[in-house]
Chain A
């Protein structure tokens, strides 16, 4: 029975995630416009875009390999896999034994690599530039993500996400200073991820491939937000043995967190403006140093071993 329930929660989590990713993107676009005193696009516009793109005749360059055809699907698959491993509304899902935080970070890297290889396979100038830019940013951002999750794992004594979240809920993920530093780093990475969004996807993909690329970007942002929400705000998340009432409360808490994150991100972006691409190395560099500092603090405090 427990196995059936864990599978059920896992499926529910994936469905919730797939529904939430485009909706959050639409809501944030609407919020950005509202903060700028404009009417804003419909919240469900991303869904319309996805349907429209799936109906279009796909176009492909000559002389491309299957990488170009399947790259966007692999990228989406890897991102969805990462999403499936990060708990949203309950712990103890079917895939929780696989929910290794290093694996999650690496699956996001796999998704990026698949997209980059597909862009290079197009054999044109603009996709190549896009691939170069995404790779250059990733050389800074991916180690920073790895370092930050390593800092948390050093506190928890494990790389497993469920165990880390449980310890955070019980208040034993110490020292709190290091935890706060890692929180700052992850928030900085979300902003960097938003700033690094490449607008040249339209020049590389079309039809369903473009729809998958857009969905991958939305899912990636939601994975990072969910990671922050799970690790630092595990409020309302249902425990292993909680029934449907606990799940409903968990889903409500998850949606509330998304609203808070969405409003917060849009507000900060309106106030401070989007981070220009040329400033991303500075932002990520500082975030990496903060992550390193968090690790030193954890080790020096003789925390969980």
Chain B
């Protein structure tokens, strides 16, 4: 990386911080536009550093005690994450500028300081700078003393990695790698810091916070994990760290996937989908760590590609989804799924943008979410198969978590688009929604365009923006235009040809079905033969699906029931017996006792499976 680029980025961050400090003295629109401009320039400055593969640059700022001056570094990992947050910051600030009367100055200030602090974190070349940037970012998005936790934990982690008597600089740590105990402690502290950073705020409902979480905070958390676990602690990397991180990611992604598929509000669905991406990133980092510990650079590269694609594509898509959701909620007066509907007719541009974002956050081709999922499955496929069942069973569980999470995200996407955007308006207030103003919808459509391009050309995005970082951490380059696997014998996922194939088949189907014949007719609102209710000549809009029932009744596990084949007789007091006598005249409490049900064939299969799982557990424990 070039010295002027690093210097310019530092000036950019300082300008952002200054703007944040002065935001109360400048009109919100002007502050928003200025912030967007500064962020946009920052993103543009990062581009040549990535595209031309410039070497790393270090700059010591004359700040701090002698020998402890702040070190700023611009390497490929920092550059790709800077680009991501500056891109998201541009969109958020510009959107805030366009909605100026509704956007207050404090929320703009939060945006500016959060971006500035996180950018400073990325540029940090030592523990003190890292903690300082993190503190600046956390102080704006966390209330109370909890904001101090993450910076302190990260500072302690970097100090633990530093050789005794030296300043906590990254170069020093790489030159003299610490032992296993200290790296393990540092990894634990970093994970705790990341958890405190990304933990959702209880009861908070703020679109600005959601957008910052998607575009700035979660990429920042992923950067911290990558920097400490896969970069600074690489020499002493352990496979079991990766297993723990991976399993945590699996739990997060399934839990958030389920939440997204059952939430009643569109902003809650979007928030859960964004947090599901964080779980996927954790899985990717875990798989990378496992592969690094086993010295498998190819497998590590798959994990890293997945993480970076999730951060770039998911960050932009998450930001876009948050902004579009806010635009809909502000215009329709509600976020409730059961009170929205028909937005494709009322807010077509915003609906298209939200649909593009949701496609990118779900796991359907040709969205960027499917490319990330494909890479994660490839990482599972390439993961080392050594270490016994205790190491291998988590891999199987992660494959299951990925599959379940993908299906849940798809269900959530169908609910959001099908209920809120399609159909008919379900409430008078919802039917009065109006399209966002032209500047706001232009921003949304621009972000939607980037999401679609990232999904259709994931390999190009990775090779253009993330290749230097992947080469730095795994030593393996990516392939352009497609997400290809490493061996030439195994072709990979090619999104553009798949999209072309589907488009061709669809056009062929339409052309074949279109034959000379009678023109189509419109038959009014379909009411399944029922007459419209009084006062609603166009049918009852509430008869449409309200978004409930999209999740299955989970398969029953009859093993627990088998343990109590003989039901216990109920103890009935005389008073209750007389009451039941008055109620049905029989005096029996037969209806209160569950009938004896013999075990079914399904129960037998469950028992066999449980026994098999028990045997596997015994084998795993005994080795």
Chain A interface (Cβ < 8 Å from any Cβ of B): 54-63, 65, 67, 70, 73-74, 76-78, 80-81, 84, 95, 97-98, 100, 102-103, 106-107, 109-110, 113, 116-117, 119-129, 131-133, 135-140, 142-144, 146-147, 150, 153-154, 157-160, 163, 203, 207-208, 211-212, 279, 281-286, 288-290, 292-293, 295-296, 299-300, 302-303, 305
Contacts and interface: CB of A to CB of B under 8 A. Distances in A.
A286 B523 contact: no
B340 to A, nearest CB: 12
Nearest to A281: B555
Give the interface SS of chain A, mostly helix, strand, loop or mixed: helix
Contact of B381 (A154, A211, A300): A154
A98 B498 contact: yes
Interface string B405-444: 0111011011101110011100000000000000000000
A245 B60 CA distance: 74
24 contacts: A58-B520, A58-B521, A63-B345, A63-B424, A73-B510, A73-B513, A78-B506, A97-B494, A100-B492, A102-B377, A120-B419, A123-B525, A124-B527, A125-B527, A125-B543, A139-B408, A139-B411, A142-B406, A154-B381, A158-B490, A290-B609, A296-B389, A299-B396, A303-B385
B555 A132 contact: no
A285 B342 contact: no
B498 A299 contact: no
Contacts of A154: 380-381
Contact of A282 (B364, B399, B548, B555): B555
A33 B364 CA distance: 39
B621 to A, nearest CB: 14
B363 A131 contact: no
A103 B493 contact: yes
A110 B527 contact: no
Contacts of A303: 385
B150 interface: no
Contacts of B378: 159
Q: On chain B, which size bracket covers the interface?
A: 35 or more
Contacts of A100: 374, 491-493
Nearest to B541: A123
Judged by DSSP, the binding face of B is helix
A296 B396 contact: yes
B287 to A, nearest CB: 14
B381 A139 contact: no
Contacts of B522: 59-62
A264 B503 CA distance: 35
A30 to B, nearest CB: 26
B62 interface: no
B609 A286 contact: yes
A54 B511 CA distance: 12
B515 interface: yes
B569 interface: no
B555 A138 contact: no
Contact of B491 (A62, A97, A135): A97
A69 to B, nearest CB: 9
Given A77-B506, A117-B422, A106 B365 contact: yes
A21 to B, nearest CB: 13
Nearest to A77: B506
Given A57-B521, A160-B491, A296 B616 contact: yes
A100 B483 CA distance: 12
Given A117-B414, A208-B514, A136 B550 contact: yes
Contact of B523 (A61, A95, A113, A136): A61
Nearest to B603: A282
Given A60-B521, A62-B524, A150-B380, A124 B544 contact: yes
B503 A77 contact: yes
Contact of A113 (B373, B410, B492, B521): B410
B423 A121 contact: yes
A63 B612 CA distance: 54
A208 B524 CA distance: 19
Contact of A77 (B342, B505, B555, B605): B505
Q: Among B386, B402, B555, which residue has the most Cβ atoms of chain A within 10 A?
A: B555
Contacts of B281: none
Nearest to A136: B552
